[in-house]
Structure formats: C-alpha cells, structure tokens
C-alpha cells in the first residue's frame, strides 16, 4: 500500500485519497503556480491508523523519509541540517473541508542547531527566536495536548517583566528566556525533554493530525454537516515559507468573489509581516486586500492573475491563501470558497451568464437548505433603530436575543428555546456548539475571514465581527461601548447585513428576494417534474406561498380555523351538544366562518388547486383539560357558593371524561370523526363547495380538492366520497354554476398504503401524510419520541436521522412505493403527493421524485428549497417526460 505522494504526483481528482487541500495543492503545482513543494500522507494511512488501534502504518516513516529527500533536492535544503535546514508545516486535509476543526503544526524541524542556522541564514535572530517559540508552543499543544494558555502565560510574564505590550516589542533576551521557559514547561508537563530529533517531531505530528480527526469539535462539525466519520484526514507536509520576515513579507487570504454578496471582485485581507495564522486568528485586524495593490503592486498584479486562472480552472469561486516571503509570492492553498446563500446564488447565476458553467451546473451547485438562509429576516428600518456600534457585516441577516459571553451558556440557553446573542472578543473552533445554538454572533476583534465570520456564513447565521468599539469584559460578564454598559441577559440586536449593533430587540421584517434568486429558481422550474405546493391554512399564508412560487395548496388544516378564540365556544357547543338539533345550531355559525375562510383562500390562489383536509384532531383538543376541570369542580364543591356554575362544570367534566382517550393519537380522530359526527364533515364540505360556487358565480376560477384524513379502507372512503359528491352537486345547483373538484384520500396509515389499490377505486388522488405514516410505521408517537428516546437512537447511530425530519426510505418509503404502485395500477395517472413535513426536506423530495410522485407540499418558507431540490432530483434522476401530469 502506498501512503505518500509528492505534490506533482497528484491532481484535483484525487480528493478522496489526498484530501481536498492536498489534491488542490497537487493540481496547482501541476498548473505551474508558485506552490512551496511538499508531500501528502494519504487518507488511507489515517484509516489504517484507526483500524490498527491507533498505530501508524508499518513502513510509513521510511516512506515519508524517502519522499522528503525529493523535497530536499527541490528546495536545496535538508531536514534537520545544521546549515541549510528545511522547515515544514504539517496540516490536516480532509476530503470535505472542515475549516479550523483539526490541528496544524508550523515551523517543524527546529532544534538548537537548526535554530542557529535559521538565525544566521536570515540574519534575523529575533525572527528565528519567535519562530522557535511558536513551534514549541504549537507542537506541545497539538502533539502533547498541553494547553496553549500555559505558554501564552509564559510569554505574558516576560512581557510584563520587560514592561511591554506587544510581542514585537520583546527583546532578544526575553525571547530566549521564553524558549527556555517553554522547554522547561514541556519537560514538567510530559516528563520528557522537548524532542530535538526532527524525524521524531515529524512522525509525532503526523500522528497528532490523525488524532485530531476525532477531536470534539471535528466530530461536532461532521455531525452538523453530515460528513462520514470514517473518511479520515490526509496530512499535508509542505516546506515552510515565512510571511513574518519583515516588511517585504506578509500573509493573506482572498476570495475570487465576495463570499458575502457574490460580487465579482477580489475580496480578502492581509497583514504585512505576519504568518497566515495571524490573519485568521483575529488577533490583529487585517487590511482589505485591495490595499495590497498599494503596498506591493507587483505582487498584487501577479496574485490577481493567479486568482483569475484558478477560478477559470476550477470553474468556481476560490478561497486562496497566499504568503509573500521577502518579495516572492507563494500560494499555500486554494479551495472552493464557502459562501452565503446570497453569494452562492449570485455567483452561480453570474457564472452562467459569463459562460463559465451551464444552468445544470448552477442548479446542482446550490445547496437547497442554503436557500432558507436567504429567507432570513432583516431589521425593519421603519422602526428607526438607534445604532450602538458598527463592525464588519460578516454574515447577513438580523437577529435579537439576550447577551451571553460563554459558548456553553449559549448552547444551554439555546437548547431550551431562549434566543441569545453570543458576544466574544473572537471565537475559536471550540465555541462551535454555542454558535450553533445562538441567534447571532458579535465579536470585537477579527476580520471577514475570522473564525466567527466563516463559520456563521456557512450556517446562514447573522454575524457582526471586528466591532472594535466594544470592550468585552468576560470576568464581569458585560461589554461597554463608550459609557454604555451591556450586561449578560440584556437584549441586543445585530444586523449582519449592515454590520450594526443595536440595543434592545428591534422588529424584524421579511426579506426581499434578488433578481438572481428569481432567475435561478426559474431555471429550477424549467427542469423539475415535481409540482410544488404549500401547506397553508390562512389567506395570508396562501398569498405568501404564491410569492414563493407555490403552484397550489397541498394541505389546508381546517382545525386551525376552529382554534381561534372567538370560534372555540361554538366548537365546544357543537361537541357538547346532546341532540342533533343542538349540534346543527352550533354548526351554523361555524359553517359561515369556514365558508368565508375558504372563499378567501380559494380566491387568493386564483384557480390553482387548493387541497382542503377535513377535520382531523381528536375532539378533546378543543375542550378544557380533564385535570383542569377536576380541580375546578373540586374547588367549587368545597366552597359550595356557586351551585349553578358547579353544575355546568360537572356536565362539562362528564362530557370531557367521556371523550377522554388512552391514546388519542390512535383514537377517535381523522375521518372516524366524519363517520361518527356526520354533521361536522357535511358542514365542512358545504362550506368548501358553497365558497367555490360563490367564487365561480363571481367570475373567479377555483379548483378545490377535498382530502379525507387517516382513511383505512375503500368502504370508508366510498361512504365519505358519496357525501362529498352529493353536497358538491347541491351547492352547484343552488348557485347554478359548475366547477371541477376532486375528493381524495390521505395515506397516513400502513393499512391504507397496503390497500391503496382498493382505496384508489374511490379516491381521486392520494396525499401521503408522512408525519402520521412515520408515527404509525415506527409505532413512535412523535412528541414522545423526539423528546425522549430519538436523540439516543441517533447518538448511538441506531438510526441515522430523525425519521420525522428525513423520510425513512427503507420503511415508510417502502409503504409509499407500494401505495404508488397499487394505486396507479387501479387508477392510471392517479395524482399522488406528499404533505408531511418531509415535503420540504431536500433528500425526501429526491425520494418522492424517484418513486414517481406528482407533487410535494411544504410550509411556505420551504417552497424555494423544494423547488430547487426537485430540480436537482430531476437532473440526477431524469424520468420520461410523459409520466404523470
Ligand atoms: C401528516 O400526518 O403527515 C399530515 C400532514 O397531517 P398532520 O401533520 O396534520 O397530522
Ligand atoms: Mg396526519
């Protein structure tokens, strides 16, 4: 097995073996770009390391040593040589980029002899000392897990003793003392002296990078981004170049286009006389890359050319790391740049217009989930918020919440549903769990490529960075801006689109969608075969859904119309009625209200199909709880002062007790209600068809679809369908109009899926209610499962995903396949859709496309996601155009 490749032996197609970074370094080397030479230890080696119980593969050290000789020849330096020492960087490089999640060791290969050579060859002892000190600290941290802080404390001690503030102000003597102190600390912590053998340094560092694959933050990141934990990382070993060798040196990071907005213009930052880590660490605030044109005009021109070349070569926006060592430019890394949803859309759109990619590439390149970020809300400027401070607009969108200063606290509060803004001087990968749970991030230091900025952009979370007016005081849990003090728990708003910070909670408003967004989703509509509808219960939602591109309503849950405060008394009266007359009299006002609801919704959808589900939940949901009534009646009985009220409450209690069910989710609900309380479904059918008839009479087009929930058999469906047809006929006759309508079945129970062929004889369409179908297929009650045992199942990897969020293809999916097949056998061309939560999940949409559904329906905000996911599915799994309308 071969474990090591030189850069020129690889290429961009070898990502799985060489990792993303390694493959790109190889590709750039072969393109003739100025890449410092190096070698790559493969991901195979990492996987074998774990397979063999965390032991480096046999022979790896010789293979590394052999390949190092090629490096030595190319650079004219030798590893460990006391005259011309070769120094190395050792970095992780996973198949999928995991920025900042794993470990790096720089300046490797220093010992007392090579240190002296470095000082002499550069004529810069200060630089050599600083490099040595950084190496010891990084090595100790990464390889031996000695906390960095302990070394930083040693540095601080020397600064204090010398009475200076900045590292650069340290004297040579102080630096030498820091090196000695650091080695002593190392000995004390590990019981062994700091290794001077450079090969030992190298092999230990390679192993440490392998180990870092499984550190806490990397595992969290992979869970979050659904990256396989078995892939392992490659290790890139590259000859060092130094950006900190004086004012003719520097380091920078640049994107070929703006990663926030997508604007086609070089975008990034750099620091003179600094190592790459300094730019991203956020300790010094870097300068915009365009100023490099002024500081180092030739370098800037050269870099611009390389950036263009790389973008054209990869046909995607690149994120490039550069270092200038004494006036010579080096490229240390290129990768497809992370970007906001807004930028992803604009870049994909612009690249199609520029002829760099085609529409298909553009559509496949955008992550559908990412589109949800675009629907982030913004500060409502009409509220005229007063700006407290301004920083960098690092990640767009606005948010408000209570201020917290600690990632653990942000995580805890976020998990229990509190909105928090995490405020830090800067964030590090160790804060990732808090960032995930916070509404937004505010930092006082760091630029557009700082950790906070990069990570939040990836998550679509608002972030304001480098807000230097902020003085963060962790100890007292507050920050100050001038004389304003903001304490932990105070409400704060941030606007990551403008970079502003505002005291209090500012009202937010819905986003406006760009032309690029409309264009790209238009392309998606051209290729998708699935129709996309919305789940909407109100005319307002219906309007919103149309705005997002819904082609109809796939589910109107009519019970929501019953829950409104002013309606509930009628609903209760209807439920508690003792005679049919009583019930009918309570139903009349409800019918009028529902008819008006349906009128508005059907009107708002202007002839597009509107699928209305008849009443579904168990009736007790509309009544006071049994426990509450028991307490109330007991109190009234004890007090004995209001016998009339007591009598009323007791009657109510008796009725509630009668309706009480051991397991209401599987009880008297769905169309069971329609069978046992026929007046309720009749009233609803009347309301729908009367509204449709009135609209038709008034000149509007309508297409109502009545949907029967939780059906189990043909007989049941037939019984209700006959009623539906009769009432439709009556309403049409009463208004002397005709309109088209459908009456179909929700497939939400395994029995319905298995007997779909029979049900299709009576049902004119199917809609999969995958929320209930998942509950009943698994035998899990959703509310209990998600709160109690599902997290453990996912954590133990017994289940890969939460089946209520991501459709379970193996089980629930199998039932769906059966239903599709059986249903269409009986009724060819049967229209079939899905309206459970899964209708807005990209992976589930793909599955629905694959099994031949006609439509998906989801909440209005997920419609753009479903449109794009449906397009991607159609591109990946084309199906004959003639199947199903
Ligand atoms: C379903 O079960 O998937 C469905 C859409 O109905 P509800 O969520 O209202 O039960
Ligand atoms: Mg349901």
**Which of 287, 312, 336 corresponds to the end of one domain?**
336
Q: Which two tokens stand for residue 299?
A: 């370098």
Please report the pLDDT score of residue 664 as a whole number: 83
Please report the pLDDT score of residue 884 as a whole number: 39
Decide: 689 and 741 in contact? Cβ < 8 Å. yes
* Binding annotation for Mg(2+): 748, 772
Residue ID of nearest Cα to ligand 1 atom 7: 771
Tell me the backbone φ, ψ of residue 822, rounded to 5 degrees.
-65, -45
What is the mean pLDDT of the segment spanning 235-251? 93
- 173 pLDDT above the threshold of 90: yes
Identify the band that residue 744 occupies on the pLDDT scale cut at 50, 70 and 90: very high
Q: Which two tokens stand for residue 608?
A: 């597009």
Identify the band that residue 225 occupies on the pLDDT scale cut at 50, 70 and 90: confident
Measured between alpha carbons, how far is 703 from 608 in angstroms, rounded to an integer? 6
Please report the pLDDT score of residue 881 as a whole number: 60
Please report the pLDDT score of residue 381 as a whole number: 73
Measured between alpha carbons, how far is 554 from 610 in angstroms, rounded to an integer? 6
> Is 771's C-beta closer than 6 angstroms to any atom of ligand 1?
yes
Q: Which of 349, 373, 376, 451 is catalytic?
A: 451
CATH of the domain at 291: 3.30.470.20
If asked whether residues 490 and 537 sit together in one domain, one would say: no
Residue 135 included in any domain: no
Residue ID of nearest Cα to ligand 1 atom 4: 769
Measured between alpha carbons, how far is 174 from 201 in angstroms, rounded to an integer? 25
Residue 361 included in any domain: no
Residue 644 included in any domain: no
If asked whether residues 667 and 787 sit together in one domain, one would say: yes
Which ligand is in closest contact with the Cα of 769? 1
What is the mean pLDDT of the segment spanning 447-468? 81
If asked whether residues 486 and 552 sit together in one domain, one would say: no
Measured between alpha carbons, how far is 58 from 43 in angstroms, rounded to an integer? 15
Please report the pLDDT score of residue 385 as a whole number: 84
If asked whether residues 719 and 801 sit together in one domain, one would say: yes
Tell me the backbone φ, ψ of residue 802, rounded to 5 degrees.
-70, 115
More confident call, 586 vs 764 = 764
In sequence order, what are the residues at sequence separation of 6 or more whose Cβ sits closer than 8 angstroms to the Cβ of residue 878? none
- 393 pLDDT above the threshold of 90: no
Instruction: Please choose from 673, 748, 767, 841 the residue to mutate so as to test ligand 1's pocket, defined by most ligand atoms within 8 A of CB.
Output: 748
Measured between alpha carbons, how far is 203 from 858 in angstroms, rounded to an integer? 53
Q: Which of 478, 611, 731, 835 is catalytic?
A: 835
Residue 154 included in any domain: no
Residue 357 included in any domain: no
Range of the domain at 265: 250-336
- Looking at residue 186, the DSSP 8-state letter turns out to be H
More confident call, 763 vs 569 = 763
If asked whether residues 424 and 534 sit together in one domain, one would say: no
Distance 613 CA to ligand 2 centre (A): 10
CATH of the domain at 790: 3.20.20.60
Provide the residues around ligand 2 (an ion) whose CB is within 5 A. 748, 769, 772
Over the stretch 567-616, which tens digit does the pLDDT of each residue have?
888 888 888 888 888 888 889 999 999 999 999 999 999 999 999 999 99
Residue 836 included in any domain: yes
If asked whether residues 676 and 538 sit together in one domain, one would say: yes
- Looking at residue 448, the DSSP 8-state letter turns out to be T
The two beta strands, 484-487 and 440-443, are unpaired
**Which of 313, 336, 359 corresponds to the end of one domain?**
336
Distance 776 CA to ligand 2 centre (A): 10
If asked whether residues 719 and 829 sit together in one domain, one would say: yes
Q: Which two tokens stand for residue 466?
A: 């480098």
Decide: 360 and 873 in contact? Cβ < 8 Å. no
Decide: 616 and 557 in contact? Cβ < 8 Å. yes
If asked whether residues 484 and 603 sit together in one domain, one would say: no
Decide: 750 and 773 in contact? Cβ < 8 Å. yes
Identify the band that residue 276 occupies on the pLDDT scale cut at 50, 70 and 90: confident
Q: Would you call 259 exposed, middle or buried from its count of C-beta atoms within 10 A (0-12, 13-18, 19+)?
A: buried
More confident call, 78 vs 284 = 78
Residue 18 CA: distances (Å) to CA of 33, 236, 775, 860 = 19, 9, 43, 42
In sequence order, what are the residues at sequence separation of 6 or more whose Cβ sits closer than 8 angstroms to the Cβ of residue 783? none
Over the stretch 363-378, which tens digit does the pLDDT of each residue have?
999 999 888 777 767 8
Angle 28-33-36 from CA coordinates, rounded to 5° = 85
Measured between alpha carbons, how far is 273 from 250 in angstroms, rounded to an integer? 5
What is the mean pLDDT of the segment spanning 815-837? 97
Over the stretch 488-528, which tens digit does the pLDDT of each residue have?
999 999 998 889 999 999 988 877 778 899 999 999 999 99
Which ligand is in closest contact with the Cα of 710? 2
If asked whether residues 675 and 768 sit together in one domain, one would say: yes
Instruction: Please choose from 560, 772, 782, 848 the residue to mutate so as to test ligand 1's pocket, defined by most ligand atoms within 8 A of CB.
Output: 772
Element (H, E) at 58: none
If asked whether residues 540 and 686 sit together in one domain, one would say: yes
Please report the pLDDT score of residue 282 as a whole number: 63
The two beta strands, 328-336 and 318-325, are antiparallel
Please report the pLDDT score of residue 885 as a whole number: 37
* Binding annotation for substrate: 557, 613, 748, 769-772
- 384 pLDDT above the threshold of 90: no
Q: pTM of the full predicted structure?
A: 0.76
Nearest by Cα to 609 from 674, 677, 670, 536:
536
What is the mean pLDDT of the segment spanning 316-330? 96
CATH of the domain at 406: 3.50.30.10
If asked whether residues 393 and 279 sit together in one domain, one would say: no
Residue 785 included in any domain: yes
**Which of 336, 367, 389 corresponds to the end of one domain?**
336
The two beta strands, 420-424 and 328-336, are unpaired
The two beta strands, 765-768 and 742-747, are parallel
The neighbour count for residue 553, using CB atoms within 10 Å, is: 29
Distance 838 CA to ligand 1 centre (A): 10
Measured between alpha carbons, how far is 104 from 248 in angstroms, rounded to an integer? 25
More confident call, 461 vs 238 = 238
Tell me the backbone φ, ψ of residue 672, rounded to 5 degrees.
-60, -35
Highest mean pLDDT (candidates 29-38, 338-347, 387-396, 551-560): 29-38
What is the mean pLDDT of the segment spanning 723-743? 98
Taking the alpha carbons of 710, 579, 560, 414 in that order, is the dihedral positive or negative?
A: negative
> b/e per residue, 573-583, with b = 16+ CB within 10 A?
bbbbbeeeeeb
What is the mean pLDDT of the segment spanning 326-336? 94
Measured between alpha carbons, how far is 702 from 104 in angstroms, rounded to an integer? 64
Residue 859 CA: distances (Å) to CA of 344, 534, 555, 557, 849 = 23, 5, 9, 12, 18
Distance 713 CA to ligand 2 centre (A): 16
Q: Which two tokens stand for residue 848?
A: 């629905």
Highest mean pLDDT (candidates 117-126, 389-398, 757-766): 757-766
- 882 pLDDT above the threshold of 60: no
Over the stretch 465-485, which tens digit does the pLDDT of each residue have?
989 899 999 999 999 999 999
* Binding annotation: 557, 613, 748, 769-772
More confident call, 722 vs 791 = 722
Decide: 151 and 137 in contact? Cβ < 8 Å. yes
Q: Which two tokens stand for residue 279?
A: 């730019």
Residue 463 annotated to the active site: no
Residue 192 included in any domain: no
Distance 748 CA to ligand 2 centre (A): 6
Q: Which atom of ligand 1 is nearest to the CA of 837?
A: 3
What is the mean pLDDT of the segment spanning 280-299? 87
Average per-residue pLDDT for the chain: 92
If asked whether residues 315 and 381 sit together in one domain, one would say: no
Query: What interhelical angle do 643-659 and 626-639 show, nearest 10?
Result: 160
Measured between alpha carbons, how far is 228 from 219 in angstroms, rounded to an integer? 10
Identify the band that residue 670 occupies on the pLDDT scale cut at 50, 70 and 90: very high
Query: What interhelical angle do 148-162 and 172-190 show, nearest 10?
Result: 150
Residue 46 annotated to the active site: no
Q: How many structural domains compose the chain?
A: 3
Element (H, E) at 536: none
């Amino acid at each position: 097995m071969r474990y090591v490749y030189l850069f020129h032996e690889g290429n961009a197609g070898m990502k799985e073996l060489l990792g993303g970074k390694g493959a790109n370094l190889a590709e750039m080397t072969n393109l003739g770009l100025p890449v410092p030479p190096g070698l790559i230890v493969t991901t195979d080696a990492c996987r074998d390391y774990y397979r063999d119980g965390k032991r480096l593969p046999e022979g790896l050290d010789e293979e590394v040593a052999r390949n190092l000789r090629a490096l030595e020849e190319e650079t004219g330096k030798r590893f460990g040589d006391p005259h011309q020492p070769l120094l190395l960087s050792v970095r992780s490089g996973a198949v999928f980029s995991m920025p900042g999640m794993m470990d790096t060791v720089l300046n490797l290969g220093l010992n007392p002899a090579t240190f002296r050579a470095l000082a002499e060859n550069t004529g810069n002892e200060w630089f050599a000392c600083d490099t040595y000190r950084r190496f010891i600290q990084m090595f100790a941290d990464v390889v031996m897990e000695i906390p960095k802080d302990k070394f930083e404390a040693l540095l601080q001690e020397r600064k204090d003793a010398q009475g200076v503030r900045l590292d650069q102000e340290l004297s040579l003597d102080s630096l030498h003392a820091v090196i000695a102190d650091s080695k002593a600390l190392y000995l004390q912590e590990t019981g062994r002296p700091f290794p001077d053998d450079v090969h030992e340094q190298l092999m230990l560092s390679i192993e440490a990078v392998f180990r870092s694959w499984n550190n806490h933050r990397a595992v969290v990141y992979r869970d979050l981004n659904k990256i396989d934990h078995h892939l392992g990382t490659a290790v890139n070993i590259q000859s060092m170049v130094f950006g900190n060798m004086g004012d003719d040196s520097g380091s920078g990071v640049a994107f070929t286009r703006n990663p926030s907005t997508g604007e086609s213009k070089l975008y990034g930052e750099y620091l003179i006389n600094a190592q790459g880590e300094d730019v991203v660490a956020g300790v010094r605030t870097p300068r915009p890359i365009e100023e490099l044109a002024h500081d180092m005009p030739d370098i800037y021109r050269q870099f611009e050319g390389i950036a263009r070349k790389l973008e054209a070569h990869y046909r995607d926006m690149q994120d490039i790391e550069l270092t200038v060592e004494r006036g010579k430019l080096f490229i240390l890394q290129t990768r497809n740049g992370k970007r906001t949803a807004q930028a992803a859309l604009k870049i994909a759109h612009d690249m199609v217009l520029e002829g760099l990619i085609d529409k298909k590439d553009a559509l496949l390149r955008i992550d559908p989930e990412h589109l949800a970020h675009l629907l982030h809300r913004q500060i409502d400027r009409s509220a005229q918020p007063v700006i407290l401070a301004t920083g960098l607009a690092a990640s767009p969108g606005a948010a408000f919440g209570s201020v917290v200063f600690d990632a653990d606290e942000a995580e805890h509060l976020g998990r229990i549903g509190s909105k928090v803004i995490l405020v830090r001087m800067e964030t590090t990968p160790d804060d990732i769990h808090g960032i995930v749970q916070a509404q937004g991030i505010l930092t006082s230091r760091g630029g557009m490529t700082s950790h906070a900025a990069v990570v939040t952009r990836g998550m679509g979370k608002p972030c304001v960075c480098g807000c230097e007016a902020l003085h963060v005081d962790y100890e007292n849990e507050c920050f100050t801006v001038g004389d304003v003090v903001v304490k932990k728990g105070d409400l704060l708003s941030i606007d990551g689109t403008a970079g502003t910070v505002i005291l209090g909670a500012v009202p937010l408003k819905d986003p406006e969608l760009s032309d690029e967004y409309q264009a790209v989703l238009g392309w998606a509509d051209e290729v998708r075969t699935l129709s996309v509808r919305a789940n909407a219960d109100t005319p307002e939602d219906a309007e919103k859904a149309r705005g997002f591109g819904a082609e109809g309503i796939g589910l109107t849950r009519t019970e929501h119309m019953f829950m409104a405060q002013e309606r509930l008394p009628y609903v209760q009266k209807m439920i508690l009625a003792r005679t049919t007359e009583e019930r009918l009299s309570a139903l009349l006002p409800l019918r009028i209200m529902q008819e008006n609801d349906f009128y508005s919704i059907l009107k708002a959808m202007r002839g597009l199909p509107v699928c209305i589900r008849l009443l579904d939940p168990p009736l007790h949901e509309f009544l006071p709880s049994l426990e509450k009534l028991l307490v109330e009646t007991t109190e009234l009985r004890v007090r004995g002062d209001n016998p009339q009220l007591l009598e009323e409450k007791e009657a109510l209690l008796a009725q509630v007790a009668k309706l009480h069910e051991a397991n209401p989710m599987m009880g008297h609900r769905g169309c069971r209600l329609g069978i046992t309380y026929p007046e309720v479904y009749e009233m609803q059918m009347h309301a729908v068809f009367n509204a449709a008839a009135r609209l038709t009479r008034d000149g509007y087009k309508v297409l109502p679809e009545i949907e029967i929930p939780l059906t189990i058999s043909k007989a049941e469906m037939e019984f209700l369908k006959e009623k539906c047809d009769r009432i439709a006929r009556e309403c049409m006759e009463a208004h002397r109009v005709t309109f088209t309508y459908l009456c179909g079945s929700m497939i939400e129970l395994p029995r319905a899926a298995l007997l779909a062929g029979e049900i299709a004889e009576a049902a004119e369409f199917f809609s999969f209610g995958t929320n209930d179908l998942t509950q009943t297929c698994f035998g899990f009650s959703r509310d209990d499962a998600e709160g109690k045992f599902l997290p453990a199942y996912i954590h133990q990897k017994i289940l890969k995903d939460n089946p209520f969020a991501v459709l379970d293809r193996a089980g629930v999916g199998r039932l769906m396949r059966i239903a599709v097949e059986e249903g269409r056998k009986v009724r060819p061309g049967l229209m079939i859709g899905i309206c459970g939560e899964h209708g807005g999940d990209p992976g589930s949409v793909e599955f629905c496309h694959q099994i031949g559904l006609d439509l998906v329906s989801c909440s209005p905000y997920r419609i753009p996601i479903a449109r794009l996911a449906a397009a991607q599915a159609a591109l990946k799994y084309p199906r004959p155009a003639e199947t199903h309308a």
